[in-house]
Amino acid sequence: MLKLSVTKEAKCAVANKVFVELSEKFEKVMKKRITEKIKKRNGEVDLVFVSDKKMQEMNLEYRKKNSPTDIISFAYLEVTEYEDWEESEDIIVGDIFISVETAKKQAKEQKHSLEKEMRILFVHGMLHLFGFDHQNDAQEKEMEKWAKKVLA
């Protein structure tokens, strides 16, 4: 089971409930992948809404790019050895940071609601946490396929 915690360092008009429900849908659609990654344990995911200023600082520190971006995900499953943990212990899957300001701009550009943009970004981040990437066309298509299933 996935456990989601939401922190709003920047004001976000989208209700936490939206992300909790989307996390539950993600878990149903991605059940096989999640089970492979976390076995029968609970997985913890932190979702943090930040300002463009904070996102720019993070983007510079972690990606060496001096500009804000819409989302940054930190996938701990890839870098943490959980085999030594007690079976009853929760696994920290990762952190997802979303810039509210950039999400608003993108929603306006795409002519859809902020909620829809946030849902898209959240699912994108969740996919990264469970090992998906978009370094090439094949990976991007695979990631898009799963995102569409979750967002349907």
Return the ∠ at Cα 43 (arms to 22 and 146), rounded to 5°. Answer: 45
Tokens of 36: 């492979």
Distance CA 6, CA 134 (A): 25
Output the pTM of the full model. 0.91
Model confidence over 77-128: pLDDT tens digits?
877 766 666 666 788 899 999 999 999 999 999 999 999 999 999 999 999 9
Tell me how crowded residue 13 is: count the other CB atoms within 10 A of its CB.
10
Distance CA 68, CA 105 (A): 12
What is the CATH number that goes with domain 2-151? Answer: 3.40.390.30
Distance CA 26, CA 124 (A): 11
Model confidence over 9-38: pLDDT tens digits?
999 889 999 999 999 999 999 999 998 888
Q: Which residues of 49-82 are buried (b: 16+ CB within 10 A; e: fewer)?
A: bbbbebbbebbeeeeeeeebbbbbbbbbbeeeeb
